[in-house]
């Protein structure tokens, strides 16, 4: 019986020793999630506890991004040997006291690329295996100055949307609208706000005229923009009126040109028809009556011919006597 009790006692002591060895090295953080603004500094706290009171050769701590296979920083617990990756050389420091088990790091000039989870791993030669702890870093970004716009026609009776948007901001900015009348007096919005910075105004009228301010805000900062809203009557849409007038003038000019060419064509056609008519004109067939000379005209004509004949006849020549006698 004594042997059994002695065996049990030995096994119990061995189990306690094993548990003590297994749990001798612990690595933990007092702040699993760290939030810091862009451009500021952030400290990632990592504390280890070990059974051994003093570091030994080969003991070191390493830091890496979760899901990355390579470490970006490491430090020997004895001596000053350190390693820092290219992206961290000028903005990473081991800010803890290693002798007190503090292997924390501080990152300066934070950017949005620093967002993510980090793993701190401590390896002690006399207390294997190594132990790790994860720390999440959240880089906060103040909202950028939002842009305010009017979507729709600011005419009486119309529905319009006022939009507000910040390009940057983490956490996601929340938007709120304020309304002021022409005398810069605060008044109810008179519209419906939607997530994402949209304000819907329905059936706008003279009561809608005024100033609207949008505030973009998150946990570390805020920015704002404003809109001066003027409502016009549909008849004052000068661009539309100008377009209509221009169209009417163009139509009138075209009608005048067409009418002019039509008139000219008709006039030319009429002149051509008159000319053709004159060229084709033939007088009607009138019977010609041929009348012979009267008896009086014939008598007068004969008398005239006789007179002319008498005047033109030469005197008759008498035969020469001398010639007759000579012949005899």
Are residues 95 and 163 both part of a single domain? no
Question: Cα angle vertex 89, ends 83, 90, to 5°?
Answer: 145
Are residues 115 and 204 both part of a single domain? no
Checking 184-190 for CB contacts under 8 A at 24+ apart, the result is: 184/211
Are residues 106 and 203 both part of a single domain? no
Are residues 20 and 55 both part of a single domain? yes
Range of the domain at 210: 147-230
Separation of alpha carbons 161 and 150, rounded Å = 6
Domain annotation covers residue 261: no
Using the 3D structure, point to which of 103, 121, 139 is the last residue of a domain.
139
Q: What is the pLDDT of residue 293?
A: 63
Are residues 50 and 85 both part of a single domain? yes
Domain annotation covers residue 315: no
Per-residue b or e along 167-206, where b marks 16 or more CB atoms closer than 10 Å to that residue's CB: eebbeebbbbbebeeeeeeeeeeebebeeebbbebeebee
C-alpha pair distances (Å), 262 with each of 27, 185, 268, 274, 300: 102, 66, 10, 19, 70
pLDDT along the chain (328 residues), means of 10: 43 43 79 97 96 81 93 91 93 93 96 96 90 97 97 94 97 96 91 95 94 96 96 70 80 87 71 58 54 67 59 48 38
Nearest-CA neighbor of 222 among 145, 107, 327, 323?
145
Q: What is the pLDDT of residue 20?
A: 41
Element (H, E) at 291: none
Nearest-CA neighbor of 108 among 143, 84, 125, 77?
84
Q: What is the pLDDT of residue 319?
A: 45
Separation of alpha carbons 141 and 66, rounded Å = 22
Are residues 156 and 112 both part of a single domain? no
**196 φ, ψ (degrees, to nearest 5):** 100, 0
CATH of the domain at 203: 2.60.40.10
Are residues 32 and 77 both part of a single domain? yes
Domain annotation covers residue 9: no
The structure tokens 């501080």 sit at 106
Separation of alpha carbons 211 and 235, rounded Å = 24
Using the 3D structure, point to which of 96, 123, 139 is the last residue of a domain.
139
Domain annotation covers residue 328: no
Are residues 134 and 153 both part of a single domain? no
Separation of alpha carbons 179 and 189, rounded Å = 5
Q: What is the pLDDT of residue 316?
A: 47
Q: What is the pLDDT of residue 4?
A: 36
* Total number of domains constituting the chain: 2
C-alpha pair distances (Å), 90 with each of 68, 74, 86, 104, 108: 21, 15, 8, 17, 9
Q: What is the pLDDT of residue 268?
A: 65
Instruction: Decide the pairing of beta strands 147-151 and 127-140.
Output: unpaired
Separation of alpha carbons 206 and 190, rounded Å = 12
**Helix (H/G/I), strand (E/B), else coil: 233:** coil
Using the 3D structure, point to which of 139, 174, 208 is the last residue of a domain.
139
Q: Specify the DSSP class assigned to residue 315.
A: P
**299 φ, ψ (degrees, to nearest 5):** -65, -45
Are residues 160 and 178 both part of a single domain? yes
Q: What is the pLDDT of residue 237?
A: 54
């Amino acid at each position: 019986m004594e042997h059994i009790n002695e065996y049990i006692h030995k096994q119990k002591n061995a189990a306690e020793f094993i548990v003590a060895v297994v749990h001798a090295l612990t690595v933990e953080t007092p702040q699993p999630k760290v939030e810091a603004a862009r451009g500021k500094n952030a400290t990632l706290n990592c504390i280890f506890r070990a059974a051994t009171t003093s570091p030994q050769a080969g003991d070191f701590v390493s830091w890496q991004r979760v899901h990355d296979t390579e470490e970006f920083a490491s430090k020997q617990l004895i001596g000053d040997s350190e390693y820092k990756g290219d992206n961290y050389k000028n903005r990473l420091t081991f800010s803890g006291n290693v002798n007190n088990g503090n292997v924390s790091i501080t990152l300066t000039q934070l950017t949005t690329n620093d967002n993510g989870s980090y793993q701190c791993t401590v390896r002690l030669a006399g207390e294997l295996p190594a132990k790790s702890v994860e720390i999440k870093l959240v880089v906060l970004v103040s909202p950028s100055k939002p842009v305010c716009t009017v979507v729709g026609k600011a005419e009486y009776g119309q529905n319009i949307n006022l939009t507000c948007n910040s390009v940057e901001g983490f956490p996601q900015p929340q938007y709120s609208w304020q309304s002021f009348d022409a005398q810069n007096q605060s008044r109810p919005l008179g519209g419906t706000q939607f997530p994402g910075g949209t304000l819907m105004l329905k059936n706008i009228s003279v009561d809608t005229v005024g100033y609207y301010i949008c505030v973009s805000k998150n946990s570390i900062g805020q920015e704002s923009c404003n809109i001066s809203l003027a409502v016009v009557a549909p008849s004052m849409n000068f661009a539309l009126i100008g377009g209509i007038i221009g169209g009417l003038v163009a139509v009138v000019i075209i009608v005048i040109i067409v009418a002019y060419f039509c008139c000219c064509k008709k006039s030319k056609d009429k002149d051509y028809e008159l000319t053709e008519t004159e060229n084709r004109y033939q007088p009607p067939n009138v019977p010609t009556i041929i009348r012979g000379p009267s008896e009086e005209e014939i008598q007068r004509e004969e008398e005239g011919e006789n007179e002319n004949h008498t005047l033109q006849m030469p005197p008759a020549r008498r035969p020469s006597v001398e010639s007759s006698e000579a012949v005899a």
